[in-house]
C-alpha cells in the first residue's frame, strides 16, 4: 500500500466491504473483496468485463444479496428486512448503464416519482425540486419530454437527477457512459465531475480511463472477482504495481 | 329472389331493445372481465403457491372449454347444484366474464413479465416497494403494450354476447331470431344483424389500433 493520504481518512468510512463473496451457481463473481470508501471520495472501479465491479455495486444497494462477508454502510451492516433495505436504498443513488428511465413518465415525472411515491411529498413541491435538479444537469428546457424524445446523454442526465432527488449520501454509477454515443459521453461525464466537485461520495464503475485518471481520488482494479490493486490514480495509471494492471491498461490503449 | 325489409321497419323497436341489451351486456362483460383478469394475473404472478396452482387450473380450463358450454352450464346446471337461479342476463354476464377473464389474465401476465428487469431495479434503487413498482412502473407500461391484445379481447367479448341468445337473454341475436321466425325473412333480418355487429366492432378495433400507434412509445423501456 501507499503512503498517500486518502480523503477524509480521519473519519469513519462511509462504506466498508469485508471479505464480500458472491456466487452465481458455480461462477464466483466476488471472491472475498475487502475495501472501503470514505465520505466525499470518488472511487472508480476498473477492470475487465466480468471481473465483479458491477456486481459489487449492485450488492452495495442490495439489488443483489451477498453470500458471505459483510457490507457496512454508515456504520451499520446492510439490513435484512425489506423495510429497512428500502430506507438504506434511499440514501444511495444508482445510475444504470441502460438509463432505465420510466418511458411513460416525462423527464420531470421521472425525477419526481421517488419523492411523490416513496417520500409521499405533495406533487407541487416534488415538481419544484425535480425542476431544480433538471436545471442542475442542464435540462431545464426538457422537463416535459418523454424519454423517447431525449438523446442517450440527456436520458442519462435525467437518470442522475432522478437518483439525486432522493438526496443520497452516495451515488453508485454502473458504467454510466457505456451505452452512449461517443458525442454524448462528455455531457454525462461533466455532470458527474460537477457532482464530484460538490463533494458527493461516488463509486463509479467505468471504462472511461481519462475520467478515472482526472476525477477519481481512489482507483480499484478488479480481476476475476478479486481486488487486484488499489491506489490513487497517479499510482494506478503511472506506476501500477502489478503486471496484470499494466496489461489491462495497455489493452485499453492507455499510455499514461 | 325478392327482398322485403318491411319486417325490419315493423319491428325496429323490438330489435333496438335487443341492440341496447347487447351493448349493455358487452360493456358490463368487458369491465368485469378486465377486473377479474387483472386480479387473476396478479394472483398468478405474486400469490402463494396454492393460489397460483388454482389459477393456472382455472385458466387452462377456460381455454379448453367453449364459452357456450360454460354459459349453458351456469344457467342450467348451477341452479340444480346450488339451488340458486340466475336471471338470464346475470348468467350470461357471469359465464362470459369467467371465460374472457382467463384470456385477459394471460395477456396481463405476459405484458407484466415482458417489461425488462432493469425497470424494476430502477424502482427498487430509489426505495420503492414491490406494490409501488407494480402500480407506478410495471402496470402503466404493460397496459400500453397490451392495447392491441385488449382490442381483440373487446371484439371477442362483444361477439360472445350473441351466445346469450341460447339462454333467452333478449339481446340483439335473440330478438332477431324471434323476428325472423315470425316473419320468415331470415336473409333480411340476419344480414342486418351481421352488419350491425360489424358496425359496432370494426370501429372499436380500428380505434384501439390507432390509439396504440400513438402511445406505443410510453410502453417502450
How wide is the angle at C-alpha B8 spanned by C-alphas B7 and B13, nearest 5°?
A: 115
Q: Which long-range contacts (CB under 8 A, 24 or more apart) does A127-130 make?
A: A129/A165, A130/A161, A130/A165
Question: Residue B218's closest chain A neighbor by CA?
Answer: A104
Sequence-distant (≥ 6) Cβ neighbours of residue B158 within 8 angstroms: B22, B26, B30, B197, B200, B201, B204
Write out the residues of chain B at the interface with chain A, using a CB-CB cutoff of 8 A: 118-119, 121-122, 124-129, 132, 136-137, 140-141, 144, 217-221
Decide which of B9 and A61 is more confident. A61
**What is the tally of helices (H) and strands (E) in chain B?**
11, 0
**Nearest 10 degrees: CA dihedral of A243, A248, A253, A255?**
-40
Rounded to a whole number of angstroms, the distance from the CA of B217 to the nearest CA of chain A is 6
Report the gap between the CA of B118 and the closest CA in chain A (Å).
Answer: 6
| Contact predicate A40/A9, CB 8 Å | no
pLDDT of residue A3: 57
Tell if the CB–CB gap between A114 and B127 is shorter than 8 Å.
Answer: yes
Q: What share of chain A is helix, strand, coil (3-state, %, to 5)?
A: 40, 25, 35
pLDDT score, position B173: 94
Mean pLDDT value across chain B: 94
pLDDT value of residue B128:
97
Q: Under CATH, domain A1-91+170-256 is a member of which superfamily? A: P-loop containing nucleotide triphosphate hydrolases (3.40.50.300)
Q: Do B126 and A87 touch (CB under 8 A)?
A: no
ipTM of the complex: 0.93
Residues of chain B with Cβ-Cβ distance to A90 below 8 Å are: 126-127
Which residues on chain A place their C-beta less than 8 Å from a C-beta of chain B?
61, 63, 82, 86-87, 89-90, 92-94, 96, 98, 100-104, 113-114, 117-118, 146, 148, 159, 162-163, 165-166
- For the cut 90, the answer to whether the pLDDT of residue B10 exceeds it is no
pLDDT per residue as tens digits for the range A99-156:
999 999 999 999 999 999 999 999 999 999 999 999 999 999 999 999 999 999 999 9
A-chain residue closest to B139, CA distance = A104
Residue of A55, A103, A105, A118 for testing the chain B interface, max B β-carbons within 10 Å: A103
Domain spans of chain A, in order of start: 1-91+170-256, 97-167
Query: Which residues in B lie closer than 8 A to residue A89 (C-beta atoms)?
Result: 124-127
* Distance separating alpha carbons of residues A212 and A233, to the nearest angstrom: 7
On the 0-12 / 13-18 / 19+ scale of CB atoms within 10 A, B214 is exposed
| pLDDT tens, residue by residue, B136-163 | 999 999 999 999 999 999 999 999 999 9
Asked if residue B78 has pLDDT above 90, the reply is yes
Q: Are strands A68-73 and A15-24 parallel, antiparallel or unpaired?
A: antiparallel
Retrieve residue A53's grid coordinates.
465491479
Task: Report pLDDT for A107.
Answer: 98
Over its length of 256 residues, how does chain A's per-residue pLDDT go in tens digits? 445 789 999 999 999 999 999 999 999 999 999 999 999 999 999 999 889 999 999 999 999 999 999 999 999 999 999 999 999 999 999 999 999 999 999 999 999 999 999 999 999 999 999 999 999 999 999 999 999 999 999 999 999 999 999 999 999 999 999 999 999 999 999 999 999 999 999 999 999 999 999 999 999 999 999 999 999 999 999 999 999 999 999 888 776 5
Residue with cell 431545464: A140
Domains of chain B and CATH, by start:
6-219 (1.10.3720.10)
Amino acid at each position: 500500500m501507499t503512503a498517500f493520504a486518502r480523503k477524509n481518512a480521519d473519519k469513519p468510512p462511509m462504506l466498508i466491504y469485508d471479505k464480500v463473496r458472491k456466487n452465481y451457481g458455480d461462477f464466483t463473481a466476488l471472491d472475498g473483496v475487502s475495501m472501503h470508501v470514505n465520505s466525499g471520495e470518488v472511487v472508480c472501479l476498473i477492470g475487465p468485463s466480468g471481473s465483479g465491479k458491477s456486481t459489487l455495486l449492485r450488492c452495495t444497494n442490495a439489488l443483489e444479496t451477498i453470500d458471505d462477508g459483510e457490507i457496512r454502510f454508515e456504520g451499520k451492516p446492510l439490513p435484512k428486512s425489506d423495510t429497512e433495505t428500502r430506507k438504506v436504498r434511499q440514501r444511495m443513488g444508482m445510475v444504470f448503464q441502460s438509463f432505465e428511465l420510466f418511458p411513460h413518465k416525462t423527464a420531470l415525472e421521472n425525477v419526481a416519482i421517488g419523492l411523490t411515491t416513496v417520500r409521499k411529498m405533495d406533487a407541487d413541491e416534488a415538481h419544484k425540486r425535480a425542476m431544480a435538479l433538471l436545471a442542475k444537469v442542464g435540462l431545464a428546457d426538457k422537463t416535459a419530454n418523454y424519454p423517447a424524445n431525449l438523446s442517450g446523454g440527456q436520458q442519462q442526465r435525467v437518470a442522475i437527477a432522478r437518483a439525486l432527488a432522493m438526496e443520497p449520501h452516495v451515488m453508485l454509477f454502473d458504467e454510466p457512459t457505456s451505452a452512449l454515443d461517443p458525442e454524448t459521453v462528455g455531457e454525462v461525464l461533466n455532470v458527474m465531475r460537477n457532482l464530484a466537485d460538490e463533494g458527493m461520495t461516488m463509486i463509479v464503475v467505468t471504462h472511461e480511463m481519462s475520467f478515472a485518471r482526472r476525477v477519481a481520488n481512489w482507483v480499484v482494479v478488479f480481476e476475476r472477482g478479486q481486488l487486484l490493486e488499489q491506489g490513487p490514480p497517479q499510482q494506478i495509471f503511472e506506476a501500477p504495481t502489478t503486471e496484470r494492471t499494466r496489461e489491462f491498461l495497455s489493452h485499453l490503449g492507455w499510455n499514461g | 329472389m325478392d327482398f322485403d325489409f318491411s319486417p325490419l321497419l315493423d319491428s325496429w323497436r323490438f330489435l333496438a331493445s335487443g341492440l341496447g341489451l347487447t351493448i349493455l351486456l358487452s360493456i358490463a362483460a368487458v369491465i368485469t372481465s378486465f377486473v377479474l383478469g387483472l386480479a387473476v394475473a396478479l394472483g398468478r404472478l405474486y400469490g402463494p403457491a396454492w393460489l397460483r396452482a388454482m389459477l393456472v387450473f382455472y385458466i387452462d380450463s377456460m381455454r379448453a372449454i367453449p364459452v357456450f358450454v360454460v354459459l349453458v352450464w351456469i344457467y342450467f346446471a348451477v341452479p340444480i347444484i346450488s339451488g340458486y337461479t340466475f336471471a338470464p342476463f346475470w348468467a350470461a354476464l357471469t359465464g362470459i366474464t369467467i371465460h374472457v377473464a382467463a384470456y385477459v389474465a394471460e395477456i396481463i401476465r405476459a405484458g407484466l413479465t415482458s417489461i425488462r428487469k432493469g425497470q424494476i431495479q430502477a424502482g427498487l434503487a430509489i426505495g420503492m416497494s414491490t406494490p409501488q413498482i407494480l402500480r407506478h412502473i410495471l402496470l402503466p407500461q404493460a397496459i400500453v403494450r397490451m392495447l392491441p391484445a385488449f382490442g381483440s379481447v373487446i371484439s371477442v367479448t362483444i361477439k360472445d354476447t350473441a351466445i346469450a341468445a341460447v339462454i333467452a337473454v333478449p339481446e340483439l341475436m335473440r330478438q332477431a331470431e324471434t323476428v325472423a321466425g315470425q316473419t320468415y325473412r331470415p336473409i333480411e333480418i340476419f344480414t342486418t344483424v351481421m352488419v350491425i355487429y360489424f358496425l359496432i366492432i370494426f370501429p372499436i378495433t380500428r380505434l384501439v389500433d390507432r390509439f396504440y400507434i400513438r402511445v406505443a412509445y410510453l410502453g417502450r423501456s
